[in-house]
Structure 1
Amino acid sequence: MSGETAFQKEDTDTMQWQDEGIVIGVRRHGETSVVAELMTKTRGRHMGLVRGGRSRTMQPVLQPGNRVDAVWRARLDEHLGDYKLEPIHLRAARLMESATAVYGVQAMGALLRLLPERDPHPHLFDALDAILDHMEDPAGAGELYVRFELAVLNDLGFGLDLGECAATGTRERLVYVSPKSGRAVSRDAGAPYADRMLPLPGFLSPEPSEPAGVRELADAFRLSGFFLHRHVYEPRGLQQNAARDGFVQAALKALERRNKPSEPVPSDV
């Protein structure tokens, strides 16, 4: 049954579990097999060998973004193990139709690789699944992607506090984020330091707001990107994944085309 995650002992030498997963990466292994990297619902990012994974039958299943039912087996828990995969939702062909979706799948996979392998993050699985189903809407996909980056930051121990003003405690008119503390700041409290603050897009504040326009979405990408660079990439000596840049530009340009000519893409994103 899909979703079953308890280890099952078929014999004294074999361990097995079953779960749902989303394909985020595949690499060749030998002449006919591949190593599949899945974001599973309850076991986090998990890899396994798919024997015959390069066959005509399996190649369409093993495309990034597809949702699958996975059975994993190994002698020991720490082994790579073997996957047996069955398709649940084959959406890769649709995702390949737009640059936003192609870059988005790659960018989210790169974010998930910042987390320890086999570390459960069920809310990130659900978020990934939801975003992949909304890639045709550049504004909606962009907003969800920023929230995904903020969720990854939070799970890495660097969550932002955007719910109330760091200086006054108010939940109203929050328009800035302190680059030092990662906390929201209200318009009045932050006014004397506005040139040193990061803009807080309305859709990330507690107050109701309209869907993000080009400027708001660009500000949101800068916000999450700033803290990812400071807390994750720079300390680890990593470069930001190029797929993120591709996703940001594709999402903003798609939104600009929809809103044209009122909102051009900012040149500094």
Structure 2
Amino acid sequence: MTAGRRLTDWAKRNVELRTLVVLALVVGGLWAFGELADEVLEGETRSLDETILLALRTPGDLADPIGPGWVEVMGRDLTALGGALVLSLFTAAVAGFFVIRRSWGMVAFLIASVGGGILLSHGAKLLFDRPRPDLVPHGVEVITSSFPSGHSMMAAVTYLTLGALVARVMPGRVLKAYILTLAVVMSAMVGVSRVYLGVHWPTDVLAGWLAGAAWAMACFLVARLLARRGAVEPEAAPEESGGLRGGAS
């Protein structure tokens, strides 16, 4: 038997299809982020970025985003969902959920996952150091560099990671899908608001989404590995009934 055949047989016995799919998405997300970063550094995305940013402004008045005034107010409210304080509160709330379940391993893993992703976001911004858009006035105050969008990446890291960790211990596919959909929608709204308010190029936001989603999926895979070793709470089976129960510590 060839080495390739032995490797294939081992994978069939030990690796689940879902794990392979998620791993492929992680690799694909990181590859897409790298390709996008390369295009941004070479200036290839400038025209597209400017076109989208200008399309969200009232013709003849670049200081005025399209739509009535309440839309701009709503944009500021949505962008706050990606701020450090709000993300910390959501993280604390979900950590409390696992404390109630006495799943201490999940509490530690959750904090490490979200905290690590946020540190990665700050590191990426320092590495690329892309200037903020100067094409239109900013709708909110900003003090850091532009690529990747910190709000978009931190929102994706936090909401998608929290959503994935909570969904894996919830019974029923519908409930899992609802939690993950809510996490995706919240992450998307934060990113769109950053472009609407003129504080990020669209490619900044796309990069933040790609990196944040890849991080969240990687954390999901690590959680599955730790669950097999009894370090964190195991994933709930779809047919399990609801209710609080203690997890592995």
Tell me whether the two structures share a fold, i.e. TM-score over 0.5. no
Q: Compare the two structures and name the one with the higher helix fraction.
A: 2
Q: Which structure's relative contact order is higher, taking Cα pairs within 8 Å and 6+ residues apart? A: 2
- Normalising by the residue count of structure 2, what TM-score does the alignment of the two structures yield? 0.32
Q: Compare the two structures and name the one with the higher strand fraction.
A: 1
